[in-house]
Structure 1
């Protein structure tokens, strides 16, 4: 009887990896989409939690723009801080500050300077997420963090780059 118990224990140890349970994490973030015409090019991502839309836009003869159209409306003016976050598997790396911008009360889209927009897009193309952190008194913890994910960026980014190359310089 002891021999049978030993054999079944060995078999269960050998077969454990074969019949083990695997867990997979889903990819975070909505797919990026691109839009273009003869005067402007854009890539955008819908924000999961609040239905807002983050958009990088290049107009002919202008510098890159970044806006976030948010829902619900912004309740107070507040300062937003923008960070670059490493991929989750690079947990040994810290957040890197990219810049700051002012959020305006009401339904005005949130905008950043062209320099910050260019840094944000550069970080996304390098596989880093963009985090936009600001205070919102309507929330329990008073802090809101919007995340722009580089997941699913490249098909839209390639279309965006092709469009930008074809824009008039003025």
Structure 2
């Protein structure tokens, strides 16, 4: 077993190789790897003696699981009805432009930011809503979204010094 699989092996051992604990196992694995790598999911399936399809099915069914790498900072913009009516599409397009995201791309090449468009953030009264690193920003404008991203970029640069 390579070092890459060691954390997953420990998580499986901590859960007594119990396939009924697949969701908590995947949660811990995602905490460790920051997403669910395909080879790790296959390893889990093999170790739990279940089909890879079952593991992939769970990983793709629940929205909180990620099967692709995510950036250090997660930006969620609501595109539900209330937010859409209040202009969230302009915020989304501005964030995509700011982060230089191409069509189909949701994470920046430097793995600093991931943009997620979500159906509801549960804050319709604050529409449009953006959440960045679990901080809710209500009545967000395209300009304010860029300002928030710029603050994070500046903070990252300062911390790198």
Do they superpose with TM above 0.5?
no
More strand by share: 1
**TM-score, normalization: structure 2?**
0.24
**Structure index of larger Rg:** 1
**TM-score, normalization: structure 1?**
0.23
Q: Which has the higher contact order (CA 8 A, sep 6+)?
A: 1
More helix by share: 2
